[in-house]
Structure 1
Amino acid sequence: MSADDSPDAYDSLLERYERATYIGDAAGVLSWDQEVVMPEGGTPARSKQTSALSGARHDILTSDEFEADLNAAEDADLPDEQAAVVREIRREFDRAAKVPKSLVERISEETSNALPIWKEAKAEDDWETFAPQVETLLELKREYANHIDPETDTYEVLFADYEPWLDLSVAEDVLEQLRDALIPLIDELNETDADLATPFDGTYSDDDQFSLAESTLEYLGYPEEHGRLDTAPHPFSSGTQFDARVTTRFDNEDPVGSIGSVIHEFGHATYTLGLPREAYGTPLGQNRGLTVHESQSRLWENHVGRSASFLSSYVDLVNDDLGTDISGRELYEAANQVYPDNLIRVEADELTYHMHIILRFEIERDLLSGDLDVADVPEAWNAKMEEYLGVTPDTDAEGCLQDIHWAHGSFGYFPTYSLGSVLAAQLFDAAESDIDGLDAQLADGEFDALHEWLTEEVHQHGARYTTNELVKRATGEEFSADAFIDYADAKFSDLYDL
């Protein structure tokens, strides 16, 4: 192929890739439907549908024509943005081309089948019901990883599906730093005699909490024409820059958990909606990865949603929708109490949350290596809960069955939650430096400046930059856990009067 053909090759490559993206996004809508509104009996057909779409997408990404266009585009002298697109497509092609289509379809079908089995097992508090599906998915994911890179640790290969540009060693280092810094801080907080407010002592209906969730999204600026709110057994957000949906769930005795999950999922959705629309279908219109995605949700949930400034005015919505009469300070204390005995990850406080992540990381790693049998997961889970948090679940539903990730086959996903949390602190530090009076704006319910800063520094770039390049452009520093550790120490030392 001549040099003159290179632009044509790039255009052809992009057209093929966009088609694969559209198929993947269609599969995402089917997945949302299955988790939110599909009747229970629809699984056999849905699993075949998602399998077919996965196979069709794989066919496009691994075709000879796709590879030829990719090779020609790589040889061309492309502008920086186009070169970044080719870099991202090359990485995806190199991984996809090594995996047989039949395996891709099998994994998709098995994860669709696993979802109702997980729901049943959780409802019945019965790990044994779900264990065979976990065995199957582990076997398939080991095979998948072995096709991609048989010389590399299985967990490392799978982790790279979710965070392609930070090595697993970075995640391990971050988790070690968090464990070393947070365990003594948590212990110190628990030894104080601080008497923080617990203002929610009634029962709050699903309808009232749903109303508060709607009010919260409107308050934050979530656009109705590009999203929707629903409930699901496990809160999540999914979609594109044109349609980013959120879900939550409710605890009738503790509305704080739902408030946090709504703001968390809003953070995910606002990142998705902030991706450039004109680049939809290309890597420039896709998120940078789950570390960055999680940084957006944790920034809004913790640095905004759990801040004293935000809660000082937001409390009016809480009182209106829940019929309470509490102060902003009381809500701040309720939202930031440290509860080591909290069994549920998505309801955990800012500090003990990371112990939940470490636990899952260690169990997944041992499962994939064969050092832990699936049948022994409940025992291992409970032992680690006791070790890290000093509490043992009474049921598997509150223990090893609480998360949906294994039903999705998402082994290697969990470390990105902690990576995202530390990045959130790093980004918020930079935003505070760049935005005059940000704290006062949050207290006044004004979020435009923060939203614009995040769009400018993070969202608009899509996947143009690698993770650390994006972090350095936004903050001027390398990716690091330092900002989070400093933030956590300062915030909770002040709250608990250490």
Structure 2
Amino acid sequence: MATEAAPDDEADAADAPAAYDALLDRVRRWNTVGSAAGVLGWDQQVMMPEGGTPARSKQLSTLSSIRHDMVTDEETGELLDELDDADLTDERAAVVREVRREYERADAVPVELVEEISETGTEALQAWEEAKAEDDFETFAPHLEKHVELKREYAEHIDPDRDPYEVLFEEFEPCLSMERAEAILTELRETLVPMIDAIRESDADLAVDTFEGSFPEEEQEALARETLELVGYDFDRGRLDVSSHPFTAGNQFDCRVTTRFDESDPLGAIGSTIHEFGHAQYNLGLPQEHFGTPLGESRDLSVHESQSRLWENHVGRSRAFWELFLPTFQEHFPETDDATVEDAYQAFNQVHEDNLIRVEADELTYHLHIVVRFEIERDLVRGDLAVEDVPEVWNDKYEEYLGIRPDTDAEGCLQDIHWSHGNFGYFPTYSLGSVMAAQLFEAAESEIDDLDDKIAAGEFDDLREWLGENVHRHGSRYETNELVERATGEEFSADAFTDYVEEKYGELYGI
């Protein structure tokens, strides 16, 4: 059960200590620099001409070093020290906590390394795009090798006595321990592997061929726009574009989404579009008055993924949504006029036997895709795996965990964009977010009367408002577990997720 809204004790700033006001001014400035870099990063993946990489590399590395210098300036540390014993409201104390965490990590890392990591990421992105297009891992391998070396060095500067992968994981999920994350991933594997085996042995006859055929990209894009309008995306503060890997970028004033299209898989584009809407809705729901401060920033990537996975899976994959959406789909693709709501529901929720692509994976095998990536990047960073061996190890793990083996590196270890950015430690947050989504949606269902009926009627206001009230408006005020507990009345756990998938897929497949 959600708790009562906490009072906005940040509203009256008149009694804030002078050191706090000075710190907040600094934080707003460096986060604005970071926000500008984010727009350049979006442009690089969506609009920038191919020849722009050398200049963009320098632009982004310069902004990165400027922001780093601002964070680690001696005055930042002095202001934090001055606030150590200050009598602060809960919100101000949360701001200081978050700023101190960032300052201490950044202060440990030389600015030259920050610049090199940024520049490497810009160059690696172009190399990854070329390598994927040409199915040529060797083109990307030197960039991946450099990223691994730089990120090991980065982690060593922060804490030379700890597991470097754990240090990097904290960049994306600072509030949950690596031990807790691994325990949840283990619980998912132990729950899902036998369930998937039982599904594959099942003789259930799902309508898996409902949407087979060729679906033109232009029509899919028009449908994607209608989908965003249907769920309530604010196009006055956002836009939809196409990228090689779907992503969301922005803040509460300007948050943009991308998707991609496969003419043989219209459901994939719908899933990706709704997924990115969840990310955007979180950003757009952050308090505008706190832009540039921790109170106006998302909590972390586990929480962010909970929002995208909630909309993708608990809304987009539901029967109720397809009661609403199927007529719209059929208007764009009249060749599917014979499909029923149950056909669409089954097609969107089938458990694939041969899907190699994570972003196209079904709701269950998706997590085995995550486990593969998690284990490989962990071993890379720890020095237990050489970059040159990644394709073979990747393929072996896919065969072991998913029963399939990629024929090409483009559909294997080159399929994801994250390593081109040097984002080691990111992947576990996808599964953590899925688990969190189930817990949040269960709580929302208990508090919103007839939520399924509202979804089927296209009435999403109550769900958006519930998420806004219980998640979005808090920014980073609460750490992850406290945020979840305030929203749901329970500590963060995998219980709601395992109950959800066992009920849903037990009914679908008769297991």
- In structure 1, the residue matched to 2:10 is none
CA displacement at 1:192 relative to structure 2: 1.0
Q: Is 1:318–2:329 an aligned residue pair?
A: yes
Within the candidate set 426, 432, 437, 1:419 is matched to 432
Gaps of 5+ in 1: none
Within the candidate set 171, 185, 210, 2:221 is matched to 210
- In structure 2, the residue matched to 1:20 is 30
Q: TM-score, normalised by structure 1?
A: 0.98
Structure 1: distance between partners of 2:226 and 2:22: 45
Residues 246 and 5 (structure 1), Cα distance of their counterparts in 2 relative to 1, 3 Å cut: closer
- In structure 2, the residue matched to 1:77 is 87
Q: Is 1:143–2:153 an aligned residue pair?
A: yes
- In structure 1, the residue matched to 2:4 is none
CA displacement at 1:201 relative to structure 2: 2.2
Within the candidate set 296, 300, 306, 2:317 is matched to 306
What is the RMSD computed on CA atoms of the aligned residues? 1.0
Whether contact under 8 Å (1:276, 1:285) holds in the other structure is yes
- In structure 2, the residue matched to 1:348 is 361
Within the candidate set 486, 496, 499, 1:486 is matched to 499
Listed one character per residue, the Cα deviations across residues 311-366 of structure 1 (whole Å, up to 9, x for unaligned) are 11111111112233122211101100000310000000000000000000100111
- In structure 2, the residue matched to 1:171 is 181
Q: 1:336-485 residue pairs with structure 2 within 5 A?
A: 336-485=349-498
Whether contact under 8 Å (1:237, 1:245) holds in the other structure is yes
Q: Is 1:46–2:39 an aligned residue pair?
A: no
* Code of the aligned partner of 2:318: S
CA displacement at 1:6 relative to structure 2: 7.3
Listed one character per residue, the Cα deviations across residues 114-164 of structure 1 (whole Å, up to 9, x for unaligned) are 111000000110111100000000000000000001111000000000000
Within the candidate set 254, 274, 289, 2:265 is matched to 254
Whether contact under 8 Å (1:6, 1:75) holds in the other structure is no
Listed one character per residue, the Cα deviations across residues 429-449 of structure 1 (whole Å, up to 9, x for unaligned) are 000001111111011111000
Give secondary structure in 1 for the equivalent of 2:351. Answer: coil
- 4+ residue stretches of structure 1 with deviation over 6 A? none
Listed one character per residue, the Cα deviations across residues 40-80 of structure 1 (whole Å, up to 9, x for unaligned) are 00000000000000000011100111111121123210111
Structure 2: distance between partners of 1:287 and 1:242: 14
Within the candidate set 75, 91, 102, 2:101 is matched to 91
Listed one character per residue, the Cα deviations across residues 240-292 of structure 1 (whole Å, up to 9, x for unaligned) are 00111000001101101000000000000000000000000100000000000
Structure 1: distance between partners of 2:340 and 2:205: 16
Give secondary structure in 1 for the equivalent of 2:421. Answer: coil
Structure 2: distance between partners of 1:402 and 1:244: 25
Structure 1: distance between partners of 2:432 and 2:447: 23
Gaps of 5+ in 2: 1-13
Residues 441 and 5 (structure 1), Cα distance of their counterparts in 2 relative to 1, 3 Å cut: closer
Structure 2: distance between partners of 1:261 and 1:322: 19
CA displacement at 1:5 relative to structure 2: 11
Structure 2: distance between partners of 1:352 and 1:170: 21
Q: Is 1:335–2:345 an aligned residue pair?
A: no
Structure 1: distance between partners of 2:23 and 2:489: 34
Give secondary structure in 2 for the equivalent of 1:74. Answer: coil
- In structure 2, the residue matched to 1:127 is 137
Whether contact under 8 Å (1:236, 1:248) holds in the other structure is yes
Structure 1: distance between partners of 2:332 and 2:461: 24
* Code of the aligned partner of 2:206: L
CA displacement at 1:200 relative to structure 2: 1.2
Give secondary structure in 1 for the equivalent of 2:84. Answer: helix
Residues 397 and 93 (structure 1), Cα distance of their counterparts in 2 relative to 1, 3 Å cut: same
Give secondary structure in 2 for the equivalent of 1:371. Answer: coil
Within the candidate set 264, 285, 293, 1:274 is matched to 285
Whether contact under 8 Å (1:343, 1:399) holds in the other structure is yes
Within the candidate set 77, 85, 94, 1:67 is matched to 77
* Code of the aligned partner of 2:367: H
Whether contact under 8 Å (1:299, 1:428) holds in the other structure is yes
Structure 2: distance between partners of 1:257 and 1:457: 29
Whether contact under 8 Å (1:114, 1:408) holds in the other structure is yes
* Code of the aligned partner of 1:50: L
Structure 2: distance between partners of 1:7 and 1:322: 61
Q: 1:177-188 residue pairs with structure 2 within 5 A?
A: 177-188=187-198
- In structure 2, the residue matched to 1:195 is 205
CA displacement at 1:496 relative to structure 2: 1.1
Identity across the alignment (%) = 63
Structure 1: distance between partners of 2:381 and 2:439: 32
Whether contact under 8 Å (1:6, 1:72) holds in the other structure is no
Give secondary structure in 2 for the equivalent of 1:253. Answer: coil
Within the candidate set 229, 232, 252, 1:241 is matched to 252
Structure 1: distance between partners of 2:301 and 2:367: 16
